[in-house]
Structure 1
Amino acid sequence: MKKLIKNNVNWVGKIDWELKSFHGEDYSTHKGSTYNSYLIEEEKTVLIDTVWMPFAKEFVANLEKEIDLNKIDYIVINHGEVDHSGALPELMAKIPDTPIYCTANAVKSLKGQYHKDWNFNVVKTGDTLSVGNGKDLVFVEMPMLHWPDSMAAYLTSDNILFSNDAFGQHYAIDRLFNDYADECTLQEEAIKYYANILTPFSGILKKKLEEIISLNLPIDIIATSHGVIWRDNPLQIVELYSKWCDNYQENQITILYDTMWEGTKKLGEAIFEGINLEDKDVRVKMFHIAKTDKNDLITEVFKSKTVVMGSPTIGNSILTPVAALIHLMKELKFKNKKSAAFGCYGWSGESVKVLNEKMKEAGFEIIGDGLRNQWNPNEDAIKDAIEFGKAIAKA
């Protein structure tokens, strides 16, 4: 079960190959995930985080095969969410007095979830815990990355940063380390994880990265809570986060639409053509919202400088999948992005106005009044849509 990370540090977590959704059904995990727990065995034995509750019995049983549980001196919980702390009740039933080190907010979280008053020890940034042989764990609070209770722990001498949710991905991989991962898949899952989970906290993250860098700590390994452990040039993911947290965008325009009888789709295809005619360098992508995974769409929004939204009018408004996606965009608080709207209608034609209003509320800068077309687009309407695409590219 144990997999060596470095010296006396081993991975003791769980690889979940079958996971297809996370946070309930709110986040798609096409590549599964891992729940990374770590065991430090120096003069003191320290367990860092556990696994998700469905695997609690398996986790504790496997841990018992590796060590006498009574020899665990300390437990560090970097974040109280159940995918990290879910095995605590099973474990603490066997070693109820073992000290748990976590933030003050994590105490609230753990008590609120499990209704147990375990032996909590509150730590804050700069606090240390000796593990013997001249090594210490140094704690760094990371509030809102992505919960108020989050923190990281740094093991001196071995230079391992146990970063919890920061720098992770939902990616099941048997060899654990980033140098064994498919580089393209790893990049895709890392940016998807950031876009869908950490985007609202980019401002906080930017300051926290500056704080971590200012500590001038040598980092040989970044041991995340999900996905790969970064050991081959581990700071590459820190550099990516530094880009992603700074109002990130690529030279990309994304068209997102839903359609009832293909009219709005035809407009979208003509807009696509117009953008390409005007700007040969910009990457243009087009997705049918109702037929595409919402978290994959959010990743494309994250990469885009402009998002073009399309919906026909229904019930004096827009189609439900479009409204739901805009709601998610608003929650994620994107910055420095533009939007334009288009749609077909038969009678009243409010969809474009509604799209503009909702995208403005979501924090996007609106380009023009949008493109409305009554009934199925004819040749003139298609020409208008091409010109609308050109105008978007110029904007």
Structure 2
Amino acid sequence: MQTYEIKKDIYWVGAVDWGIRDFHGYSTYAGSTYNAYLMLDEKVVLFDTVKKEFKSDLLHRIRSIIDPEKIDYIVVNHVEMDHSGSLPEIIDIIKPEKIICSTMGEKNLKAHFHREDWPYHVVKTGDSISCGKRTIQFIETRMLHWPDSMFSYIPEEKLLISSDAFGQHLATSQRFDDEVNETVLMYQAQKYYANIITLYSPQVRKLLKSVKDMGIEIDMIAPDHGIIWRKDPMKILNAYEDWSHHRGCKKALVIYDTMWHSTEMMAKAVADGIESQGVNVQLIDLSVNHRSDVMTEVIDSKGICLGSPTLNNGLLPRMAGFLMYMKGLRPTNKYGAAFGSYGWSGESVKLLNKAMEEMKFEIIHEGIRVKYVPDHDTLKLCNELGKKMGEMVKAGCERE
């Protein structure tokens, strides 16, 4: 089992999950990792564990460096089971002097594992603990993305162990940002933010400000998933700043589902109108695009056009499901418009507008409904709707 020394006497000892393809509704076609870190000092510290099924990977890597029973402290930055699933068995082997966690971490560990006898050591923002040559400082990051979450910062190394923040679901044999394709890395980081962190964007903004105000120097960020940032940690910090404000670039999406291609015809006309205004547009058919990949595009788009036929006085199931998923993540700072075909009742446009209003999108048009199959005049109206969206997106991006 390969280990990686990320700093002098600090090692990556986690696990690579090459086979995972779904993470509670998030498409993880690129796999993932469960990162854990081992620091050798006068006090030996293990930061987080791994998913239960990967306990052996973690132990083999630790044993290649040190006898696990020589580990003094376990830091639990995050209690979610992909990082704590193997914790009870690891504790039985290590018998640590301290299990370091936040106040909510202690509460959640007890709720998950029902162990009152573990040697909990509760910390809060501003607390620190000496391990010998190095110190660990703790920063609570509640609701990024669980109430127990926290960061561990090692000032002597300028190393931030960042729990689930700044991660990606990406399985590779490389461990660092300068070893992988940058485009792939940033896409996976954006996808991770869009599908896991978006809801907590206000907390991200506060955290980034706090880190800046505290004057924390960072030359490496080690998250609990994916690649470690050592080449340019500011790249991901700046990206989180942009994503947390839901700043849309000069880009619009036309997201649709269709029954007998009428709504698809309308979608293409809307997209053509947007493109005519010099705005980047993506035409996204929900029948062939996973909701988590669609959300990845939503996060940096300024305009969102939604199209669906009416089915049983409602929306097609894929569109209804996507709306439920998107509403839960609460993207903001978007322009919205709706369109759709119908046979005899025609509620879809009204329902799409209502959903976007609930997300506080700025609705730029009442929407376009067509009975059965659109004719040339209707498609022209769809094209005009697209042009208006393109104009709004350009103007909005210029203001930002």
In structure 2, the partner of 1:37 is: 36
* Contact 2:72–2:96 (Cα < 8 Å) also in 1: no
Question: Is 1:349 the equivalent of 2:346?
Answer: yes
Equivalent of 2:357 in 351, 360, 363:
360
Tell me, in whole angstroms, the C-alpha distance in 1 between the residues paired with 2:107 and 2:56.
24
Tell me, in whole angstroms, the C-alpha distance in 1 between the residues paired with 2:274 and 2:12.
49
Aligned residue-pair number: 390
Q: Which amino acid aligns with 2:225?
A: H
Correspondence 1:1-395 to 2 at 5 A: 1-22=2-23, 24=24, 26-117=25-116, 118-133=118-133, 135-277=134-276, 279-280=277-278, 282-395=279-392
| TM-score between both structures, scaled by the size of structure 2 | 0.95
Tell me, in whole angstroms, the C-alpha distance in 2 between the residues paired with 1:392 and 1:246.
21
* Contact 2:168–2:192 (Cα < 8 Å) also in 1: yes
Tell me, in whole angstroms, the C-alpha distance in 1 between the residues paired with 2:8 and 2:62.
18
* Contact 2:191–2:296 (Cα < 8 Å) also in 1: yes
Report Cα offsets for 1:133-162 as digits up to 9, x if no partner: 2x2000111111111100001112111110
Tell me, in whole angstroms, the C-alpha distance in 1 between the residues paired with 2:354 and 2:155.
52
| TM-score between both structures, scaled by the size of structure 1 | 0.96
Tell me, in whole angstroms, the C-alpha distance in 1 between the residues paired with 2:300 and 2:352.
20
Tell me, in whole angstroms, the C-alpha distance in 2 between the residues paired with 1:298 and 1:2.
34
Question: How far off its partner does 1:98 sit?
Answer: 3.2
Q: Which amino acid aligns with 1:157?
A: E
Report Cα offsets for 1:347-377 as digits up to 9, x if no partner: 1111111111122112222122100111111
Structure 1 unaligned regions, length at least 5:
none
Q: Would the alpha carbon gap of residues 360 and 269 (structure 1) be closer, same or farther in structure 2, given more than 3 Å must change?
A: same
Partner of 1:93, secondary structure, is helix
Report Cα offsets for 1:181-211 as digits up to 9, x if no partner: 1000001001111111111111111111111
Question: How far off its partner does 1:384 sit?
Answer: 2.1
Structure 2 unaligned regions, length at least 5:
393-400
Partner of 1:47, secondary structure, is strand
Partner of 2:227, secondary structure, is coil
* Contact 2:365–2:385 (Cα < 8 Å) also in 1: no
What value does the CA root-mean-square deviation take over the aligned residues? 1.3
Q: Which amino acid aligns with 1:246?
A: H
Question: How far off its partner does 1:65 sit?
Answer: 4.1
Q: Which amino acid aligns with 1:35?
A: Y
Tell me, in whole angstroms, the C-alpha distance in 2 between the residues paired with 1:275 and 1:175.
40
* Contact 2:51–2:84 (Cα < 8 Å) also in 1: yes
Tell me, in whole angstroms, the C-alpha distance in 2 between the residues paired with 1:385 and 1:44.
66
Partner of 2:50, secondary structure, is coil
* Contact 1:178–1:229 (Cα < 8 Å) also in 2: yes
Tell me, in whole angstroms, the C-alpha distance in 2 between the residues paired with 1:38 and 1:105.
22
Report Cα offsets for 1:224-262 as digits up to 9, x if no partner: 111110110212211111111123211111000000000
Q: Percent identity?
A: 43
* Contact 1:326–1:362 (Cα < 8 Å) also in 2: no
In structure 1, the partner of 2:395 is: none
* Structure 1: 4+ residue segments shifted above 4 A: none
Tell me, in whole angstroms, the C-alpha distance in 2 between the residues paired with 1:149 and 1:46.
19
* Contact 1:59–1:87 (Cα < 8 Å) also in 2: no
* Contact 1:330–1:363 (Cα < 8 Å) also in 2: no
